[in-house]
Structure 1
Amino acid sequence: MRKLTIFLTITIGWIFCLAALSLAQAPTLREQLVYGLNVFNGKGYGGGFAPYTEDTIYLIADKDNTISANITLVYFWPITGKYVAGFQALNEKVQGTLEILQGGQVIKALKKEDNTLYYPEGYWGESAIFYQGEEAHAYFEKFTQAIEEYYKQISEFYTAQTEYQKNIDEFLNEIKERRDKGEEFTIEEIEKSIPREPKQPAPPIFYVTAPKKDYVINLPLGRYKIRIRAEDGTIVQDSEKELVTFTSRRTGGTGYEIIPGNRWTRREACDDPSWLIYAAGKNTLYFSPFIQDEYNELYYNKLLDPQNPGREEKWRWVHIQAIKDVTLLFSKGKETLQRIVRVPYYVEQIPGPELGYEIVEFNPEEMFDRQATFEGYKLDLAPTLEKASYEINLEKREGEFFQGGRREVRLVKKENTQSLYIFSIFPLLVGAVVFVTRRRKLGS
């Protein structure tokens, strides 16, 4: 028995060593043609690439999308189970005409066009608008001028700040000298004559990407093939792929993103009206309601990243647009317990040896150099609330509710949760009893 134990230990050790060595090996780089993607995802645009291993590209129908063909180095990353492109090491643009085929016939031949993305709420905003051609250059020029004007204002601000510091020092010295001579001042007199500190200018809210040349694809619902025809008339090797354009099955639903106050990075979704929201003990939840559309799971997952898995028979809700001009009601039966408005919040890191944070209401005047982390409806659940069923709903106007916004909230007891461990251990105890009983029977 002892020899068997030693043998198994050595074998398992060797397996782990071999696994560690395989993970430590440098990845194998392969030069291949990939398609760079910048696709519309229902609310904005997202980037990615389709490696040689993916034979199909998925796009939302009747929307502007851009793709580009590049020669780059690709390697497999076992940690994520996906292929990674080394664009920094090699990024050679493939020239030619992109042909789109349907039913074996070429229906479109596309040349590269200038295009840009306009983010009205800033680069990290929820929406983006696509522009191409002359409009792309016009919006980028507008952004460039706004940035130049901002830098000019910043320069003027620093000059004014230096002048202000000089004036405030002179003012304080003057007040001190006059007080030393016996003069007295009221607070109103001092506030009236004190130099005013200049206000720091705010940067442009919107953001525009620099124009770049890509193939712009906008196709109706259907199945197609794409390929690149080189300038010499030949088809570029490995450029042929299937192309599927799809659309939503249902639109205009109402979903929630829920941010727990004690773990704000672990956001949860409640997209179906039949789903229940469970909470225990003292809790703070931040709700962000969205208009949502329903897409095929496989198609949408592949849209976000062609290497993503998915199930063609399943469907998923996608948050499209934030719902803002409503009031969130927290009720029990016909009694409204809380009426909550939408507020911007900032997640403030707490300094010290222990990592922590605090979610505070965002104040644009005091936090002029920062941006709100998120916006939402803050629901405080006191521990004194009866452990029962409640509900939330979205009110547009008094007595008029947003369709599909109702959700049931159940408060559960947190006491005596250790009893759950007894139930989970019970099957193990039964198994142990059965094992011992059988061993005794075999021994007898």
Structure 2
Amino acid sequence: MSTETTTAPEAHVRELDMLRFATAGSVDDGKSTLIGRLLFDSKSIFQDQLDSVEKVSTERGNDYTDLSLLTDGLRSEREQGITIDVAYRYFATPRRKFIIADTPGHIQYTRNMVTGASTADVALILIDARKGVLEQSRRHAFLASLLGVPHIVVCVNKMDLVDYSEEVFEDIRAEFSDFAAKLRVKDMSFIPVSALVGDNVVERSENLSWFKGSTLLNHLETIHVASDRNLVDVRFPVQYVIRPQQNDARDYRGYAGTVASGILKPGDEVMALPSGLTTKIASIDTADGPVDEAFPPMSVTVRLEDEIDISRGDMLCRPQNAPTPTQNVDALICWMDESTPFVPGKKYAIKHTTRWARAVAKDLTYEIDVNTLHRNREATSLELNQIGRVQLRVTQPLFADAYQDNPLTGAFILVDEATNKTVAAGMIGQLPHEV
């Protein structure tokens, strides 16, 4: 087997489009093995990594190289044979750069899955061909749709264990499609694979000659995601005000941050929130020098023609398309604290984009059963990994959009001020369909 690593030249890779995808599915569906196969067959691992995996595989008594060990890096994960934490891996092909989030399948790690999928362009949901669509499969599909992941790819794995049966694949496709019809899913594809053997992951397989679609890697290389990222106009949360102290740069005042949506260009008119003052962009700087435009997810420093009062937590936007400041937040939250539940009346710190404020929990409207999509309106609290719709009152206005319109300006976290622990992740105005 060839184990050399092939990478595109640095300048070329930097210009490639970026795709973030997260794996999801039931325990033992082969998520980590699939990622290991992608990395191995695309020649994106180093020899010392492979040597380490082969050594551990031998120590465990396997007669094959267990590629899942490339992502299951924690000792406890290897001992139990399951993924516990979110593992991130990076690789590139000549056509695209990838960031992979390998998320846990076990229900007790729902919060980890939410974290890993929250920034994904694509959710890869694995289904064991022998077991079909399980409760966990539906749960992760619901969470992916809840998080606004625009593309779902259902990988029917372990096809080698069902004799590469087309009938088994089609039955799973039909059952999953019926369930997904209840969800907000923009784009969904089905691909049969065998991660362990390598069928249809990177290379086509004669064993799956009846399948006329593309391989998994080819599908990931060609799926269009650019239009998913600009659902609203310009949003530029200010992270830091740059005022160099050197004698030759004392007149420099720039506002650093990450472009959340839209395109910024020198000469564009912008409004600063919360002041409402307007001005024009004088220049846009990066670590590599000035640029003619900035777009998501670029980190840039914006200089303005006029000196107006702007500080961390403020936002630049278009004057004619500004978000409506709000202190009443209607949101879905995933509770992440194992020691204390969410209960109405408690106070938290809230972080939205770059702005910090304090929030009080006004009401818990309902808790959602992520397996059945049932809404429990009798719930009085949220425990670890539970998801519910809540009402918050915030001490300072938030410049927010609905999560479904802009995940960056529609998301927030809640922090327990006593422990400084992040206790919840929230999505503003994102509501599932009635079921």
TM-score relative to the length of structure 1: 0.21
The structure with more radius of gyration: 1
TM-score relative to the length of structure 2: 0.21
Higher strand proportion (structure 1 or 2): 1
